[in-house]
Amino acid sequence: MKINKIVFENIRTYTKEEIVFPEGAILLSGEVGAGKSTILLGIDFALFGLQKGSLTGDSLLRNGTNNGSVELHLTIEEKNIIIKRTLTSTGQDNGALTVDGNKQRLTPIELKQRILELLSYPLELLTKSKALFYRYTVYTPQEEMKYILYGDKDIRLDILRKVFGVDKYKKVIENAKIYVSFLKVQKKQFELMLSDFISKQNHQKNLFSQLENLNIKHKVMLPEKESLEIQQLELKKSLDATEREFHQKTQEKQELVHLNNRLDEKVTLKNMLKIELSKLNINQIILKPEDFDEKKLLDTLAKKEDLADQLQGYKQKLLELRLGMKNSDKIIQQIQSLNECPLCKQQVQINHKNSIINKEQDKISSHKIEETAVEINLSEFQEQHSLCINELQNIQEFKSDHALKKLQFQQYVNNTKRKEDIEAQTNQLNEEMGKINIRIIDLQNKQDLSNIENELSRKKDKLMQVEAKLKLIEMDIVRIVTQKESIEYLLKQVSEELEQRQKQKDILERLQSIHHWIESSFIKSIEMIEHQILLKIHSEFASLYKKWFATLMGSEELLTTLDEDFTPVVEQNGFVVEYPNLSGGEKTAVALSYRLALNQVINLLVVGLKTKDLIILDEPTDGFSNEQIDRLKLVLDELHVKQIILVSHEPKIGSFVDNVLYINKKDNISTVTSDYKP
């Protein structure tokens, strides 16, 4: 990763500033409080956003402003990356990520996730307030370095485990111990569950014995039940036959009553037909009338309507002619008395008036001739219309007389037909009455129900006795079957419980085996693996730490190494020198050597990190002599890092870096230039 530039707007002492970072070693120079650390905080904020407890919005947003932003331009594996995060008085707002010109609006958490992916940092850091790999490879604030160097050893080892990914072994061991404790609880629970295993086996044997006794009783009772069921079936068959015979006799008795009623009904009907026949008068013979000519009536009606229409037409024409003549007379009278035109107010000429009068008189003459012709035609059609009405009246009178004759003839035909029907119906009644009488005599000879009723009663009593015995034995069988089902249910439960206990016993044996394996083998193996990995890291770390310390100090009076807890140990003439007793330059040399060794080991052992070509050092020469500052150049050259950003107010560093950026502050506003401005 390479930082190309950063743009501030309303960030701490910066109002609006663009800072360009070339490749190589860069010195951020300026007085204390000028705004050097703000640049580092801005880079941190752009990459990872606000961080609870270490980087807050209040500490970044310029006093008196409501919003601000940081825009960071990077190059990661030849991709041009632009990250923009914004701040408001209430916190951070949505930001933007541009990759090779493709811009996305993202929430703060989404933006952090995408940046972790681009840097190949573990995504579990998404929920962490601090990005560990960035803190211990790129930029470590001085106060955090103190915790790593001389803080609690357990905290330091936990941090290093997380950075190098070794913490997973500790987690495995801790989880294994937790699991062992869990297994112990499980074992006790299963042992408690298996305490009644033998008693349940005895209970199962007892239930088997009870079930066998009930099965014997059940087998003994079944033949007796089958014998009674056979007797019941035979009695039911015999009873059914007797009931069918009794039912048949009962039906015959009902049929006899029904036949007598039918015979009475037919005698009554025969008498009624006889009376009706005597009332029919069919001695008078009536001839069928001729058919009526309906077409002649319709033609005459049509002719009458046609004549009426023509009469109406002539009357309308005569009215129109008379109105025309009356209108012409009115025009002649008006024109004779007219001397001046009512429209143009000019004098009306005699010739013009005569012309109009002559024209209207010609119309009157023409209308009178036409009136005479219309009156002649009207008279003729009125006469024809009167004749047509008379003819239509005669036809309608004939139609009425014809309808009466037709009705009389139809009555004659109906009476004749009814007489024939009555005679035929009377003959049929005589025949049916004869058959009914024969059936009545036959049924009267069969009526004898007393013997059948006695036999039916006897068979019912016998069946009731057999069914009572059968019911008693069935109740005994049901009782036995119910007891069997209850015992079988209990037996099933006990068997299932025993089966479950057997499974629990198998599980207990397996738990005991797992418990023994984890305690005796697994945990020790993981501890050994962790120890070997930490030994390798310690070896690499200690070697680099000694190397950088020796280079920075340039003397063999002070020797340093790392103890097994990765704590720096400084010796002078064979005696351990406590850290507080070191000089300022010696403390800085220890911290810087440790910092650079940590950077190199992480970049060496952790594969895929995209921040290996960048390191930021904040006040790395605090307390250094001029000679030590010169040696710092040797250290920086050996790092082989493409971009190094140093923050220092020591001007001598400017002599051996590639670029110097000067930070000035005036009127509480910071600016950055490449030329020094006092």
Q: Which of 641, 555, 630, 549 is nearest to 589 (CA)?
A: 549
Q: What's the DSSP call for residue 126?
A: G
By the 8 A CB rule, do 1 and 611 touch? yes
Confidence of residue 318 (pLDDT cuts 50, 70, 90): confident
Q: Where are the domains of the chain?
A: 1-138+611-678
Distance of CA 597 to the CA centre of its chain: 56
pLDDT of residue 45: 92
Element (H, E) at 19: strand 14-20
Report how many helices (DSSP H) and strands (DSSP E) the chain contains, helices first: 14, 15
What average pLDDT does the segment 126-143 reach? 71
In angstroms, the CA 126 to CA 116 distance is 8
What average pLDDT does the segment 225-251 reach? 83
63-89 pLDDT, tens digit each: 989 999 999 999 999 999 999 999 988
By the 8 A CB rule, do 315 and 307 touch? no
When computed from its CA atoms, the radius of gyration of the chain, rounded to whole angstroms, is 66
432-486 pLDDT, tens digit each: 888 888 877 777 666 666 677 777 788 888 888 888 888 888 888 888 888 888 8
In angstroms, the CA 36 to CA 646 distance is 10
Q: Could you tell me how many residues make up the chain?
A: 678
In angstroms, the CA 452 to CA 247 distance is 10
What average pLDDT does the segment 230-254 reach? 81
In angstroms, the CA 345 to CA 339 distance is 10
Summary mean pLDDT of the chain: 83
Q: Is the Cα torsion angle 634, 636, 642, 644 positive or negative in sign?
A: negative
Instruction: Record the pTM.
Output: 0.53
By mean pLDDT, which of 143-147, 358-362, 639-643 is the weakest? Answer: 143-147
Give the strand pairing for 659-666 and 24-30: parallel
pLDDT over threshold 60, residue 677: no
Q: Which of 463, 459, 465 is nearest to 245 (CA)?
A: 459
User: From 3.90.1580.10, 3.30.70.1350, 3.30.430.20, 3.40.50.300, which CATH number describes the 1-138+611-678 domain?
Assistant: 3.40.50.300
By the 8 A CB rule, do 657 and 24 touch? yes
375-414 pLDDT, tens digit each: 887 787 778 878 888 877 877 777 777 777 777 777 777 7
Q: What's the DSSP call for residue 12?
A: T
602-656 pLDDT, tens digit each: 888 888 888 889 999 988 888 888 899 989 999 988 888 999 999 988 888 988 8
pLDDT of residue 95: 93
